[in-house]
Amino acid sequence: STQVQLVSRPTGWPTDENFRTVQVDLPDLADGEVRVRNEFMSVDPYMRGRMNEGRSYTPPFPLGETMTGAAVGRVVESRSDTLAEGDLVLHQYGWRDIAQAEAAQFRPVQPLEGISPSAYLGTLGMTGLTAYAGLLKVAKMQPGETVFVSGAAGAVGTAVGQIAHLKGAGRVIGSAGTDEKVALLTERYGYDAAFNYKKGPVLEQLRAAAPDGIDVFFDNVGGDHLEAALDSFNDGGRAALCGAISQYNSTEATPGPRNMTNLVTRRLTLEGFIVGFHAQHMPEFISEMGPWLTSGDVVSDETVVDGLENSVEAFLGLMRGENTGKMVVRIGAA
Ligand code: NDP
């Protein structure tokens, strides 16, 4: 099995030197185990946190060991009663071409007509649930409200815009880092207005896009975006704080918003959340997202990088904004 390992902890932006690729001989299957050929693996911003030492909501990747993360693959050999050769499975043994473990570590998923299995890494999986739960359960968006989403052209952001639109938002505004992404936000991802945060101050651009203020903020970015949202909130506004990617590679403490007193004067609620604590919403989410996806009400775009050997580059590309929708790595394409 070819596997990618973390060998040193990055300071600031990770580089190739922080990783190595190794060949691992897999033992014969033990009773109850399966062997899976991975087809797609996920690269996600939270993995940057796992490359650091110290406390986060997921433990650090151990040095000198193969990294983990979501992947989908097919069972190629089975000594288990519960999984058979050919079954499509979702699991956490990414960063390798062949995964081998007890069958219980692999969750069978239904192949869907006309939809790539990689959707289970994005819109139909963790990122889709993040968008759904953050918008509807944490921020409790109501029909008619004005919603602002930062990082809007990414995996979570493209889902948030479309869900907001389908759930009757009054106006949905998104920000992204290229003009191409900004165009897609309004043409394809359910946004009514969008702007390029690299082209001018976020606050000015948000005011122009939301002259009557915002009611809900779904934050993937932090920093200037959070401060601008706090400035633009109407009374009783709610923010679902999902991520702060503008700060993940920072080596120094980043400044906080300077307008926190708006929380008092406008009766605002800011709530951070982690999707893992919203697993109870999975059935409801799937019952809505499944039909949205198959009917085409929701589009699920991906940026696909080919080859496990390019997986570190795919991760860095994600941090640099080279993806639209979900960034995935296709492994061992036929
Ligand atoms: P994305 O697909 O959104 O990819 C990351 C994007 O971030 C890039 O495409 C880039 O787009 C943008 N970006 C990078 N640097 C900056 C910057 N300095 N300022 C603004 N934007 C930047 O990733 P995901 O959809 O997987 O994740 C989005 C966010 O949600 C992340 O913050 C992630 O940590 C968080 N998350 C949180 C979860 C939770 O449970 N709380 C679960 C899943 C994700 P651009 O070109 O627009 O700059």
Q: Are residues 139 and 88 part of one domain?
A: no
| Residues 270, 169 share a domain | yes
246 lines ligand 1 (CB under 6 A): yes
Mean pLDDT calculated for residue range 150-175:
98
Say yes or no to pLDDT of 334 above 60. Answer: no
52 and 10 assigned to the same domain: yes
Q: Tens digit of pLDDT for each residue in 252-271? A: 988 899 999 999 999 999 99
What's the CA-to-centroid distance between 21 and ligand 1, angstroms? 26
The structural domain count of the chain equals 2
From start to end of 187-333, where are the E strands?
A: 193-196, 214-219, 233-241, 269-272, 302-306, 326-330
The helix/strand/coil state of 188 is coil
Same domain for 165 and 238: yes
Mean pLDDT of the residues in the chain: 97
Q: What's the 219 CA to ligand 1 centre distance in angstroms?
A: 9
Does 291 fall in a domain? no
CATH code of the domain covering residue 51:
3.90.180.10
**What's the sign of the alpha-carbon dihedral 102, 103, 106, 111?**
positive
Residues 143 and 166 in one domain: yes
Q: Is 318 in the pocket of ligand 1 (CB under 6 A)?
A: yes
Pair (42, 167) in one structural domain: no
Mean pLDDT within 96-106: 98
- Write out the DSSP string of 13-37: S--GGGEEEEE-PPPPPPTTEEEEE
pLDDT for the residue 139: 98
Sequence-separated (6 or more) residues with CB below 8 Å from residue 119: 112, 125, 293, 300
Ligand 1 centroid, distance to 77 Cα (angstroms): 36
Residues 97 and 223 placed together within one structural domain of the fold? no
Domain match, 200 and 257 both: yes
Segments forming the whole domain that contains residue 211: 126-277
**71: its two tokens:** 């992947």
pLDDT surpasses 80 at 10: yes
- Please tell me whether residues 141 and 256 are part of one structural domain: yes
Q: What is the pLDDT of residue 55?
A: 81
Predicted TM-score (pTM) of the model is 0.97
Q: What is the pLDDT of residues 226-252, one digit of tens each?
A: 999 999 999 999 999 999 999 999 999
Span 155-173, mean pLDDT?
A: 98
Q: Does residue 223 sit within a domain?
A: yes
Residue from 57, 245, 249, 324 to probe ligand 1 pocket by mutation (most atoms less than 8 Å from CB): 245
CA of 224 to the centre of ligand 1 (A): 14
Same domain, 131 and 261: yes
154 lines ligand 1 (CB under 6 A): yes
CB of 158 sitting under 6 A from ligand 1: no
Quote the pLDDT of residue 333.
60
Q: How far is CA 24 from CA 142, 154, 276, in A?
A: 51, 34, 31
CB of 155 closer than 6 A to ligand 1?
yes
- Is residue 284 domain-resident? no
| 170 ligand 1 Cβ < 6 A | no
Q: Is the CB of 185 under 6 A from ligand 1?
A: no
Is the pLDDT at 57 greater than 70? The verdict is yes
202 lines ligand 1 (CB under 6 A): no
Centre of ligand 1 to C-alpha 100, Å, is 30
Strands 33-42 and 71-78: antiparallel
Residue 93 lies inside a defined structural domain of this protein: yes
Cβ(108)–Cβ(286) below 8 Å? no
